[in-house]
Amino acid sequence: MHRFFPLLLLLAAFCPHARSEGFIPRVDGEAFAKKSVAKPVSGDRLFEFIKEDESFDSWTKLIAYRYQRLSGLSNDPIKYAYAMQHAITQQNPAAAVKVSENQQTHEAVLDFVTWPKDQSYVELNVFRFVKSKDGNAVVSIQLANKFVPPKPTFTQDGVEKYQQQLMVIRDRRKSWIKQATDADLQVIEAELLKEQ
């Protein structure tokens, strides 16, 4: 047993789920280790993760996990996605918003691009909503990216750089939709409920 103890220590040091800080989500290969936990009295849960070198006041990328009791929407993930779509377009009628439903699994993906009135930044968001295992809530993952929008300059080089930046944003959106769809929300739900 004593021969295996150093090996166990080594495994614990390199396995993110074995560390004392717990679950460390990743998106695009980046670790999001800084965590904020909100536990409203309603029993809902919100975990937000950002990169270690960012702050919750000025982040550029964020991952959020939610467990929300939405009895007014019958804890229906698809209804919730459409309710959020409505709220986003009320706030910013020019926002690009899309809801994709999966009727077989009764879940929804909401993705949108929006910005504040001063247009100081643009925010890309991808959400995936599923009904909780017990049926009493909606569980979701959110991937968000805040960035300064690319500005075209009217030179050949400027137009090409602008188009490249737009392609990066488009590709990120596609990748994040896939990553949100592939995420194991049962594991996320268990993580959210573990800290009750």
What is the average per-residue pLDDT within 105-120?
Answer: 95
What confidence score (pLDDT) does residue 163 get? 87
| Better-scored residue on pLDDT, 170 or 154 | 170
Tens digit of pLDDT for each residue in 13-63? Answer: 323 322 324 678 999 989 999 999 988 878 899 999 999 999 999 999 999
Encoded amino acid at 166, one letter: L
Residue 89, phi then psi, degrees to nearest 5? -70, -25
What confidence score (pLDDT) does residue 16 get? 31
Q: What residues contact 144, with CB distance under 8 A and at least 6 apart? A: 61, 62, 63, 64, 123, 124, 125, 126
% of the chain exceeding 90 in pLDDT = 69
Q: Tell whether the model's pLDDT for residue 2 goes beyond 90.
A: no
Q: Tell whether the model's pLDDT for residue 152 goes beyond 90.
A: no
What confidence score (pLDDT) does residue 1 get? 37
Specify whether the CB–CB gap between 24 and 51 falls below 8 A: no
In 3D space, the residue among 128, 113, 120, 129 whose CA is nearest the CA of residue 170 turns out to be: 113
Which range among 6-10, 14-18, 109-113 has the greatest average pLDDT? 109-113
Q: Tell whether the model's pLDDT for residue 141 goes beyond 50.
A: yes
User: pLDDT band for position 8 (50/70/90)?
Assistant: very low
Q: Tell whether the model's pLDDT for residue 5 goes beyond 60.
A: no
